Structure 1
């Protein structure tokens, strides 16, 4: 569907890197959203990730994803925070037992050297009911149909539209 897919999936319950690094990400999720959320890095033309103190802010859209041109994510001990955000911008912290941290994957396509794609992404799953340590630690993985559709939308928006403007 989308060219060469380089998928490197790792379970990230706690990924410990060198020098005691921490991920320090804040995920702002539309109030009431349930399902997978994605953060795509190294997306040409997307804004740089914003920071709040030591934390990078990922403002998840109503389709469940965030894109940034920041080249790569942080690696290390997962210290992420998840919040629901209402229409007025008010945050409600999401119970840690309602978030299952996923993994890392990548997508690369260099068939057009002037519009090379080299995206890195991570995901998590958020639920509202059935929150438990069992949910957090289960390794059911991602539903590829969902991730392929969202990746396709990101590529269409940030890369295919660029090709149309150049022609």
Structure 2
């Protein structure tokens, strides 16, 4: 009888645990101005900025262009950026969607092989507040497995310059 009791309890525990597990993913929908190539950085928990809108299960990131003086005269002086007061980014399996969007609001899907997820990071401002960010790379001219897996070296340089600029801004 004890054996049946332990089997039943084990099944209940296993079944209960599997129902509680929830797939965690990034679920971000990037709306990127048409034709953009380069680094996109999203800063989280920034006061007086909008919270991320939702479109179904996706958090919408409306990318804007900025220019970095330090990179003037290079092909990477333009980058994409978005600031949100949403406190933290999503973590887990990357389930993002990427679209170019034109001035009329029409969307064109970006092939996954034209994207590279650079990852998440953070730094601490002078006031002691942690600033979190996520970064991706987008290309239209170098799509393929190599870009998807490794990105482009110039865009890593761009990311470091952009991050350095904003670190100084938030201090």
| TM class, shorter-length | 0.7 to 0.9
When residues 30 and 152 of structure 1 are mapped into structure 2, their CA distance, relative to the original with a 3 A threshold, is farther
TM-score w.r.t. length of structure 1: 0.73
Matches within 5 A, 1:12-31: 19-31=22-34
Shift of 1:151: 4.8
- Secondary structure of 1:72 counterpart: coil
Aligned to 2:129: 117
Structure 1 CA distance for aligned equivalents of residues 46 and 96 of structure 2: 21
Residues 65-90 of structure 1, C-alpha deviation per residue, up to 9 Å, x if partnerless? 11111110111110000000000111
* Cα offset, 1:129, TM superposition: 0.8
Question: Secondary structure of 1:136's match?
Answer: helix
In the alignment, which residue of structure 2 is the partner of 1:81?
Answer: 97
Please state if 1:136 is matched with 2:148.
yes
Q: Work out the CA distance in 1 between the residues paired with 2:41 and 2:107.
A: 19
User: In terms of mean alpha carbon deviation, does 144-153 or 129-138 score higher?
Assistant: 144-153
Equivalence for 2:61: 58
Deviates more, 1:19-28 or 1:134-143: 134-143
After TM superposition, what 4+ stretches of structure 1 lie above 4 angstroms from structure 2?
150-153
CA distance in 2: counterparts of 1:33 and 1:43, whole angstroms: 24
Residue from 58, 68, 71 that aligns with 2:84: 68
Distance 1:151 1:60 in 2: 19
Q: How many equivalent residue pairs?
A: 134
Q: TM-score, normalised by structure 2?
A: 0.72
Larger helix proportion of the pair: 2
Q: What does residue 47 of structure 1 align with?
A: 50
User: How far did residue 101 of structure 1 move?
Assistant: 0.6
Segment of structure 1 superposing worse, 136-145 or 92-101: 136-145
Matched, 1:147 2:150: no
